[in-house]
A and B are shown apart, each in its own frame.
Chain A
């Protein structure tokens, strides 16, 4: 069914659908780090955006795409443009991706979603990553430093093997702080335990976050308390990644103070932390706040 290896999509649309060839796959702690040749994608991508991969081949019973943050892109590598992702093997789709071998092909759509906004002035920034959530941050760090920003990175995970990119971080940032829940590396505890100190010490104006939803909420709380703006990349369950299915919505307050259920794949995945209605999330569910536009009336719709 894969009918072309050249980008399929309309010129100027900002997104491509390509058959990507896997050229490198290696273990990185608890994760698999993969590099795909993806013609046309690298040139369009910016930090914070993601790709949606089809899994299992053209006749697969797993129809829904899997979304992954773009770890980095190289527009002019030996093989043409490449895109890197870091995958945690979890369910059937991510297991399939993790077991791919060099020269296997995967249908890739990307870049998708909104990128991290970059500050106009060279202000200090703190980048916080949880688990594989640090994947998109190094590329972001590079972009920020190119603008003259002082960049510090905080990486956190349950245990050492679930940290991603500690060595890389040292290369891309002016300072690195590591936390693990079990104390197997860095400070024992959560990123939110060390974050206030890092923000104060650096005088950070912006805190960028990527990781589990609970962590993004606490990053937002800490940043807000310290007078910084939080920009967080969320992870909602997505079926299409391109804005057509409406499965990935979450309650976000717009600039007029109105809460709407917005699609995190096209209006996100990066949101200003203080715009997200964290109060609606609990126990792995997200309810529709009563004051959201079009919320169900009592007694159902």
Chain B
């Protein structure tokens, strides 16, 4: 397979590389879980190895059909989805999808999920045992999907439940494979959930997952998606993502939380949107819903971000991470 050098980094003088909990990535740009399938589809639009990392759809232990349809509703500057974590199950995932990603030279951040903390651990164990495990640059633990069992009551709403999942996954993976806890903004205090995840062994944080929302079809006067409620995403939620990243970074600056990398996600459509998350404290950025509008958005946003940093005279992306905290008007 071809692995062309990343145009993201070569076309500009700005050093876009990032250190994500010990793994050096040439670019901060990633796909967002569930918005990029498992590689092949977007591989038609760009070289998946061009990304800092390819983030796969959250995979569970067994194959899952997901929910009935309609599964989505368009909303102002966003959408609501209730896919219900459809997927092939971890065994098929490692044999087919992860093997393909490895062959394509993609650095892969594998997103895992489970109904119980034990299921998360089992999925991690199968992943570790797979032949393609060396393509894995990290594991994203999706403790925040609103479309599974206790909808609305996801693991990431409860610091103790979150810590348990993270600790069990940590035990299954080698120390040099970082794990990222993916958090929901649907909580009173996201920092306390972040604290318990880091304490339990998370090497980094991904925020945010979708917000629980609902759309009613006003012709039929019934919920528009078959799953009744769903996850809200897209540019409409970006201010929430910026806020969540900001609060968590602020807690690190105040010493309430150890410094761990934050992967920002939520509503990124342009380089400028990505820069917002970076300035708030994100070291890497995922592009989700915008990919549905523009299949090459994850790499395009990276090019735009590099261009913006260059225009502003920055030499390294890392110099901009969290910079807005130093510039608050007092």
A in complex with B: yes
Which residues of A are at the interface with B, using a C-beta cutoff of 8 A? 1, 3, 8-10, 13-15, 17, 54, 61-65, 107, 109, 236-237, 239-240, 242-250, 260-261, 266, 280, 284-288, 292-296, 300-301
CA distance A54 to B148 in the complex (A): 31
Q: In the complex, what residues of B have CB within 8 A of residue A245's CB?
A: 34-35, 72, 81, 83, 292
CA distance A280 to B293 in the complex (A): 30
Establish whether residues A288 and B300, one from each chain, have CB atoms under 8 Å apart when the complex forms: no
A and B contact pairs by CB, cutoff 8 A, 30 listed: A9-B45, A10-B44, A54-B293, A54-B294, A61-B77, A63-B79, A109-B295, A237-B69, A237-B70, A239-B81, A239-B292, A242-B41, A244-B41, A244-B295, A245-B35, A246-B34, A246-B83, A247-B71, A247-B81, A249-B71, A250-B69, A261-B86, A287-B68, A288-B65, A288-B67, A293-B63, A294-B64, A301-B84, A301-B85, A301-B115
Q: Is B108 in contact with chain A by the CB < 8 A criterion?
A: no
Q: In the complex, what residues of B have CB within 8 A of residue A236's CB?
A: 69
Establish whether residues A63 and B290, one from each chain, have CB atoms under 8 Å apart when the complex forms: yes
Establish whether residues A64 and B71, one from each chain, have CB atoms under 8 Å apart when the complex forms: no
Closest to B291 in A: A244
Which residue from B46, B79, B269 sits with its C-beta under 8 Å from A239? B79
Q: Is the interface of B mostly helix, strand, loop or mixed?
A: loop
Contact status of A65 and B226, CB under 8 A, knowing A3-B300, A13-B44, A261-B66: no
Instruction: Mark interface residues in B154-191 (1 if CB within 8 Å of A CB, else 0).
Output: 00000000000000000000000000000000000000
Which residue from B62, B68, B149 sits with its C-beta under 8 Å from A288? B68
Q: In the complex, what residues of B have CB within 8 A of residue A54's CB?
A: 293-294
Q: How far does the Cβ of A15 sit from chain B's closest Cβ, in whole Å?
A: 5
Q: Is B248 in contact with chain A by the CB < 8 A criterion?
A: no
Q: 8 Å CB contacts to A: which residues of B110-148?
A: 115, 148
Other contacts beyond A8-B296, A239-B74, A261-B86: 13, CB < 8 A: A9-B44, A63-B235, A63-B292, A65-B292, A240-B295, A242-B45, A244-B35, A244-B292, A245-B83, A285-B70, A293-B63, A294-B64, A296-B67
Q: Is B37 in contact with chain A by the CB < 8 A criterion?
A: yes
Q: In the complex, what residues of B have CB within 8 A of residue A237's CB?
A: 69-72
Establish whether residues B86 and A249, one from each chain, have CB atoms under 8 Å apart when the complex forms: yes
Residue from the set B62, B86, B300 with the largest chain A CB neighbour count within 10 Å: B86
CA distance A23 to B52 in the complex (A): 40
Q: Is B18 in contact with chain A by the CB < 8 A criterion?
A: no
Closest to B81 in A: A247
Which residues of B are at the interface with A, using a C-beta cutoff of 8 A? 34-37, 41-47, 57, 62-72, 74, 76-79, 81, 83-87, 89, 115, 148-149, 220, 226, 234-235, 269-270, 289-296, 300
Q: How far does the Cβ of B148 sit from chain A's closest Cβ, in whole Å?
A: 6
Establish whether residues B294 and A295, one from each chain, have CB atoms under 8 Å apart when the complex forms: no
Closest to A250 in B: B69
Q: In the complex, what residues of A have CB within 8 A of residue B293's CB?
A: 54, 63-65
CA distance A66 to B66 in the complex (A): 23
CA distance A148 to B252 in the complex (A): 73
Contact status of A246 and B44, CB under 8 A, knowing A1-B270, A61-B77: no
Q: How far does the Cβ of A11 sit from chain B's closest Cβ, in whole Å?
A: 10
Q: How far does the Cβ of B313 sit from chain A's closest Cβ, in whole Å?
A: 23
Q: How far does the Cβ of B60 sit from chain A's closest Cβ, in whole Å?
A: 9
Q: How far does the Cβ of B296 sit from chain A's closest Cβ, in whole Å?
A: 6
Q: In the complex, what residues of B have CB within 8 A of residue A9's CB?
A: 44-45, 296
Closest to A1 in B: B270
Establish whether residues A246 and B292, one from each chain, have CB atoms under 8 Å apart when the complex forms: no
Establish whether residues B290 and A14, one from each chain, have CB atoms under 8 Å apart when the complex forms: no
CA distance A55 to B62 in the complex (A): 38
Q: In the complex, what residues of B have CB within 8 A of residue A248's CB?
A: 69
Q: In the complex, what residues of A have CB within 8 A of residue B148's CB?
A: 301
CA distance A266 to B47 in the complex (A): 19
Which residue from B72, B77, B294, B295 sits with its C-beta under 8 Å from A247? B72
Contact status of A13 and B81, CB under 8 A, knowing A242-B295, A286-B69: no
Establish whether residues A240 and B66, one from each chain, have CB atoms under 8 Å apart when the complex forms: no
Establish whether residues B292 and A14, one from each chain, have CB atoms under 8 Å apart when the complex forms: no
Which residue from A62, A294, A296 sits with its C-beta under 8 Å from B74? A62
